[in-house]
A and B are shown apart, each in its own frame.
Chain A
């Protein structure tokens, strides 16, 4: 059974581009355009991994990450943050909130695939 990846990203082109390459790698893709729907989809669908953007309207990626880790249903899902905010500060913050990786945008899609595969085990 194919692994499920949830992409929480408010910028459709980016979400679509990521979905495009991950599908070509044989992964199931779910997308959410904001934090609220992202949290819902994560609970409902129990993805194997979440790709999380930080700069989103209403709820920031950090908040989403925090909430995912608090909720027992989603606490064990590995989270990879993909963000334009790439300072040490942000990276530290993301990791302290439970993200296993922090990838700065823009990124090489092949490297992203590599990292995801590594974390899916």
Chain B
């Protein structure tokens, strides 16, 4: 459309120039008296019509109305007027009959091949029609040459001339049309290339934009990330500072605690060494006291033995009974002193002396029962012994083992109410002899089963004192049994349900002897 418009513009300008040129020519001819005024006026009328069409075309062009039909009509009119004008100027005599060819060429340039061919055919028919009318004298002939009047009558010349014009018109139509056609093609190709280039550029631009968008997104994301990293870093930094403060505070606390603990430990150490010193003093005192107590017991027991041995005169049965009780109590006292001495030895880290000799457990039990018979009867208790089979002899310190058994049975006597029973069991248990002292007395609470073996331990000191003990019996008994390589422990189903004291003694290995 744009190329056409350029052509139309060109055509309109050209037409103004041509019209102006013709107008000037006609005015000049009138001035110089070449043509008469009536003829000039008719020429100006025709020029006015042509100018009018050009103005119309001009308006349509600027109103952007489809100008193609009007352009064709205008060109047709131009052609027609040119032919008519040529007719009045000699017809085929006039060599300017090529002028319509220029208009046809223009039509080809401005419109297209079809328009130029149509115009060429129309023009040629117009020329032929005018020639036929002129040649046959139907309309008058206006010759431009005086002497060549006959020349236009020459049919051969006319046919040649008209044939030449036909070829010229056709050539102009084809030339203009094809020029435009190729121009359009080239222009289309150019346009396509341009479009493609534009498309490519658009695509490239789109890609560029897409990339830019991505880059922007990335940049945003990066900024966002940086922001978040900054925030997190700040948070972390705050947390770290917070932690540092806490750690510092904790460190100070810990340091204080450590100092306090060190202080306490120092105090404890001092207390410990004081306690150890006191403990040692106590132990030494115990040792001394027990030795000193033995001194008065010696004459007491000595005289008792002499009296009971008949060396101090005769005694009544009642007196003898009393002497026996005195003797037994002296033995008990001596035993207690011996216990204290043993304990003091243990505490001082000295070994308890033990005289090992072959012993019969059964005989030992019988001896003890014999010795305790009186006490058992006095308390209204039943004492029985269960030894199912023969027992091997063991190696042991008779005095100490007797002390242990006396202590255990004595405990049962103390803690078993009147009417109760005590049973002594002995039997083989693997490589050991197992001895049990079982009663149905007040029993032992579970929590005390182990504590009762601690030195000077008494569940209830007032009760224990009433029962007659100093709280060392079990501790020393345990030590003595362990001295023999055995074990001593207590069992009880609970308070009020009796108790068992059990100890083991390893059976002597007879080897090859």
Contact = CB atoms under 8 A, between A and B. Distances in A.
A55 B291 contact: yes
A14 B302 contact: yes
Contacts of B398: none
Interface string B297-317: 111111101100101000000
Interface in A74-94: 84-88
Contact of A20 (B291, B295, B306): B306
Contacts of A107: 298, 301-302
B296 A13 contact: yes
Given A87-B353, A88-B353, A106-B334, A17 B295 contact: no
Interface in B309-362: 309, 311, 330, 334, 350, 353
B301 A21 contact: no
A17 B353 contact: no
Contact of B299 (A14, A86, A87): A14
Contacts of A11: 295-296, 298-299
A77 to B, nearest CB: 23
A116 to B, nearest CB: 14
B302 A84 contact: no
A14 B309 contact: no
A107 B330 CA distance: 12
A102 B321 CA distance: 32
B151 interface: no
A84 B294 contact: yes
Size band of the interface chain A makes with B: 20 to 34
Interface in A1-32: 11, 13-14, 16-18, 20-21, 24
Contact of B311 (A18, A21, A55, A84): A21
Interface string B50-72: 00000000000000000000000
A11 B297 CA distance: 11
Nearest to A108: B305
Main secondary structure of the interface of B (DSSP, over half): helix
A35 B297 CA distance: 22
Contacts of A14: 295, 298-299, 302
Contacts of B303: 17, 20
Nearest to A11: B295
Contacts of B300: 106
B433 to A, nearest CB: 27
Contacts of B302: 14, 17-18, 21, 106-107, 109
A105 B298 contact: yes
Contacts of A109: 302, 305-306, 309
Nearest to B350: A87
A84 B291 contact: yes
A21 B298 CA distance: 13
Interface in B254-311: 291-292, 294-303, 305-306, 309, 311
Given A87-B353, A88-B353, A110 B301 contact: no
A65 B330 CA distance: 30
B298 A17 contact: yes
A86 B334 CA distance: 13
B327 to A, nearest CB: 11
Contact of A106 (B298, B306, B311): B298
Interface centre among A18, A21, A108 (most CB of B within 10 A): A21
A87 B287 CA distance: 12
Contacts of A17: 298-299, 302-303, 306
A29 to B, nearest CB: 14
A47 B450 CA distance: 57
A25 B201 CA distance: 151
Nearest to A82: B298
A33 to B, nearest CB: 14
Contacts of B294: 84, 105-106
A20 B291 CA distance: 24
Interface in A94-110: 105-110
B305 A13 contact: no
Contacts of B309: 109-110
A108 B294 CA distance: 13
Contacts of A13: 296, 299
B291 A106 contact: no
A87 to B, nearest CB: 5
A40 B331 CA distance: 36
Interface in B202-236: none
A86 B303 CA distance: 21
A16 B302 CA distance: 10
Nearest to B297: A106
Contact of B305 (A24, A84, A88, A110): A110
Interface string A30-48: 0000000000000000000
* Nearest 10 A/B pairs, CB to CB: A13-B299, A84-B294, A106-B298, A17-B302, A17-B299, A105-B298, A106-B301, A14-B299, A109-B302, A84-B291
Given A14-B295, A105-B294, A108-B305, 20 more contacts: A11-B298, A13-B296, A14-B298, A16-B299, A17-B298, A17-B299, A17-B306, A20-B306, A55-B295, A84-B298, A85-B291, A86-B353, A105-B297, A105-B298, A106-B298, A106-B330, A107-B298, A108-B301, A109-B302, A110-B309
23 contacts: A11-B296, A11-B298, A14-B295, A17-B306, A18-B302, A20-B303, A21-B302, A21-B311, A24-B311, A55-B291, A84-B294, A84-B295, A84-B298, A85-B291, A105-B298, A106-B294, A106-B297, A106-B330, A107-B301, A108-B301, A108-B305, A110-B305, A110-B309
